[in-house]
Structure 1
């Protein structure tokens, strides 16, 4: 794409904090050569997060002027407006946006930081979406010392980053979030490409150099995976991480990513000359590195190699595809795998991470209800609208999609037909790093695997049968153990316990809890047992933890759960189930595992 920079783009935004105490951004937009009946639209969703979020709910005080004269602004529906004008002079609009959502998807502003995606702040100019867009970012009433970080190309910006930036079209503007504040900032080069990492909310104990070093190893491994000694499809890259008291998530962009992690997950400065402890699967920092790896892999797999349905985003409505199992699931397969390939974790730790994914899928009744292709299509109404019945009604295209990728990879390797690495690169070259369909994957699998994979795709992607992942893992050098499952899983429940008591969050389909009549939202107060002998009173005990229920049960096969539901006290007869099992993976044959985990081919 040409990067020629017009000196005066016909579309010019100005964004600045208006009142950080009230969490308000001010936005102005100047439109040269407007349409006589100029329509403007605010997106209802942001690519990468498949839910209609109605960003217009936070827009207020929209006004328009032309030549200093006020014009009427007519609202057409929930997110569209129209301004009639003379069609010749510059049309100027101004509005405010309330920004107090600390997620990666929208906008946030307070005394500590500012952040925004253009989809939350910047109205689209109908008919002009493909023109260059200039955006001027100014400090407004921001506290002293604030800086700016973004993947946008600067036209004229000061040392703090405030100034004017250019996007070639609205898609690029929407795909480059902006971080503002007194953040920590560091830089590194990966395969000759400059990368910047900014972190807001970190304390003085944070080991920024370790984060840079570990992230660089991930980036270099992924660049070489896709391009060998070639160059990635961007000139620079920006990581924007907000460290918070709680929260987790990320959103991918073409040359940047926005991340949220718990502050305690950041690496901590060690004593002088002390060697950092080996990472464990349960470490928060391991989880953070997996998130970094995931969003960085999206730079290729979904931002460029993308569903054909996303060739052009429609920001006004849902954009459906059946391929999220590929774009999110395959990315979820590679995220932790690249931690292993970058040497950040060992084989045993990697297998522990895989164990977690397998158990998540196997313990979700929804895998019998929906295929991952269906789950992908229904993301807008199911995956992002979590309720008490979600585990029974759908399956995560992240977790099961990752296992589909693993099954394809291990099958190709077992048959001596290459690997999924080669499939991904062949898809990149086949589509020229652009939109793809499932038929493209089928074609590449046939070419590299020397046979059709139609049956596997039908069963694993479009069906609900069990995946052969455990057999394939055993053949690849892992040892499969069957351990006693957690008590909640055996009972078919998901619960929350705190100082106030025990609450049922989910009742899993076909489990003992469902058979007993327990329901989501029940407060489990106690248990009651029939008399041990005739003439003795029944036993009744208060419980606050699920383990207490098991301890009080002893060897008895039945009990009555005493629950509070909607202000009523109920008795639910529970027949104690047989113990369920959970999977655990360990290293059995390190040499065979090495053939898969570390001896990857590069682009």
Structure 2
């Protein structure tokens, strides 16, 4: 196998054999598609056909073969061929005459970035979840004819180039697998961006139930996001075929998701553009488009070559996903879509999640990244202890990105210019990087001592940067309230006047120390009934730090008692200094303005 997206060798492509697929949707009402694939000029007697177990942009296994049935294989004369099943993921076909045509039915009913969905509103296709492939034929050109439902006014949108009609092509298997496709009665908006004399097209495809006026207004914000993110890197990537396509489905039957691809991205949400949906959905636009640089081209070596037959793992997701998450809302602020105050306050939840987690004693950001195959939309049935052992690499990397950006600005540098540096060193050439490469790049940009201090303390270890000092440089306060009482577990009413602990108490919290556990049913507090008609958190707010609560609870049908001593709430608050009447210096305001309203150096 080779890199997922090799530079196109058009000369060799012209003489290569072509594998052809067609897919139809006559039974869309029952979420079925019929897929047919023809593979000519075969040189071996036995050919393996597989359904992928993983998908570009995802790190866990998803076992797409579970939704395939009615598989058949014939040769060029219509002879039915023998099919063997050596494992759940592949079909071995033998006895052909040089050509094999396969066919099968696909059940598809999850419209997001990982799976496919077929119904009478659309055919929303993630290619690995839809099309069987022959690993031995990975270098062949592919053509696929999407048999659209003309009665439903369907059209086709994809990053693949058009051949004719509804037939599109890919130069090889890997480009094909990375080319999600939306087939529906969608609307389109587009604009051109020029870099260094070269114009490229940005297309926004939207399948929704709203109005054209809502789309027009939303598209203006999409354009602002694109231009703000181009400012970070100084240029757009060199998109294949000169076009980047957003494939958005904002419909009730979708599943909320976003998934980056080389020249396109999937954006799905149950929220329409009305009633706050536009504001709620734009963050995914920002996150996924930033991936056009960071992940798609600035690519961790651990993801190359991408393996469709197993989970894919890298220790760099704190950078690839986390730094992208840092820029997600920062760029919304820079684009004028959200206010500086709203941006600062939005950091609070992520900041608390990361720095109040006991998981840092077990794993550093690299090791958190290694957890991706277990948490990236992975499905298991046995309980896990994620509350105490895992911090999302999206969130961990995001707050580390904040720390690195503000630390660089103290040195009259900035994260934007470091991202440009990495882009020029690894992204433009599409040379996959290692963690050592990242550390060396930071040393080349900011100095060896700076880079080693950051990596040694915060990447290879789980130290916490001095955020209070760093945030002060931009006029932001980081504070905790020592008088705010804290119980340490999520408790909710269960309908009979009792309260149930809904999650694993975090290590070291009052509830954890008292021996309470997820599933315990609290029946009385200090001999009184559970607070009636009150949220448990509101009840706790009426008490004081140091108060002792005698908790009566049921566990496995047995009544038990314990004492919980309320502690100080470890929650942090981030807010602008001036919000609570503090004086902000001109220097702090200047640094804040450079951070929130401007990209890197001119």
TM-score, normalized by the shorter chain, greater than 0.5? yes
How far did 1:433 drift? 3.0
Alignment of 1:80-119 (within 5 A): 80-86=90-96, 88-119=97-128
Residue 409 (structure 1) aligns with: 405
Of 467, 470, 474, the residue aligned with 1:469 is 467
- Choose between structure 1 and 2: higher helix proportion: 2
Question: In 2, distance between residues paired with 1:438 and 1:428?
Answer: 15
Alpha carbons 2:415, 2:600 under 8 Å: kept: no
Residue 276 (structure 1) aligns with: none
Residue 424 (structure 1) aligns with: 419
Of 10, 13, 26, the residue aligned with 2:21 is 13
Question: In 2, distance between residues paired with 1:437 and 1:443?
Answer: 10
Residue 197 (structure 1) aligns with: 204
Matched, 1:77 2:77: no
Secondary structure, aligned partner of 1:21: helix
Residue 143 (structure 2) aligns with: 134
Residue 582 (structure 1) aligns with: 572
Residue 212 (structure 1) aligns with: 219
Question: In 2, distance between residues paired with 1:602 and 1:85?
Answer: 64
Residue 359 (structure 2) aligns with: 366
How far did 1:114 drift? 1.7
TM-score (normalised: structure 1)? 0.87
Question: In 2, distance between residues paired with 1:303 and 1:461?
Answer: 22
Question: In 2, distance between residues paired with 1:21 and 1:597?
Answer: 48
Alpha carbons 1:111, 1:143 under 8 Å: kept: no
Residue 4 (structure 2) aligns with: none
Residue 334 (structure 1) aligns with: 327
Structure 2 gaps of 5+ residues are 1-7, 578-583
How far did 1:476 drift? 3.0
Cα distance per residue 1:306-350 (max 9 Å; x no partner)? 111222111111222111111001111111121122222232122
Residue 37 (structure 1) aligns with: 46
Residue 279 (structure 1) aligns with: none
Secondary structure, aligned partner of 2:137: coil
Question: In 1, distance between residues paired with 2:554 and 2:209?
Answer: 42
Residue 505 (structure 1) aligns with: 502
Secondary structure, aligned partner of 2:249: strand
Residue 443 (structure 2) aligns with: 446
Moved more, 551-560 or 473-482: 551-560
TM-score (normalised: structure 2)? 0.87
How far did 1:579 drift? 3.8
Cα distance per residue 1:389-440 (max 9 Å; x no partner)? 2120111111111122222222222113x22222222222222133111122
Moved more, 500-509 or 433-442: 500-509
Of 506, 516, 529, the residue aligned with 1:540 is 529
C-alpha spacing 1:427/1:229, structure 2 compared with 1 (3 Å) = closer
Alpha carbons 1:481, 1:583 under 8 Å: kept: yes
Secondary structure, aligned partner of 1:309: helix
Structure 1 gaps of 5+ residues are 158-162, 269-282, 530-537
Alpha carbons 1:368, 1:465 under 8 Å: kept: no
C-alpha spacing 1:539/1:555, structure 2 compared with 1 (3 Å) = farther
How large is the RMSD of aligned CA atoms in angstroms? 2.8
Alignment of 1:246-261 (within 5 A): 247-261=255-269
Matched, 1:178 2:186: no
Matched, 1:56 2:65: yes
Question: In 1, distance between residues paired with 2:461 and 2:16?
Answer: 54
Secondary structure, aligned partner of 1:435: coil
Moved more, 344-353 or 328-337: 344-353
Moved more, 323-332 or 221-230: 221-230
Question: In 2, distance between residues paired with 1:15 and 1:369?
Answer: 48
Question: In 1, distance between residues paired with 2:599 and 2:95?
Answer: 61
Cα distance per residue 1:17-66 (max 9 Å; x no partner)? 14112211111110011231101121101121211111111111111001
Moved more, 509-518 or 223-232: 223-232
Residue 581 (structure 2) aligns with: none
C-alpha spacing 1:309/1:555, structure 2 compared with 1 (3 Å) = closer
Secondary structure, aligned partner of 2:191: strand
Question: In 2, distance between residues paired with 1:565 and 1:181?
Answer: 51
Alpha carbons 1:485, 1:580 under 8 Å: kept: no
Alpha carbons 1:388, 1:520 under 8 Å: kept: no
How far did 1:495 drift? 4.2
Residue 532 (structure 1) aligns with: none
C-alpha spacing 1:346/1:498, structure 2 compared with 1 (3 Å) = farther
How far did 1:190 drift? 3.5
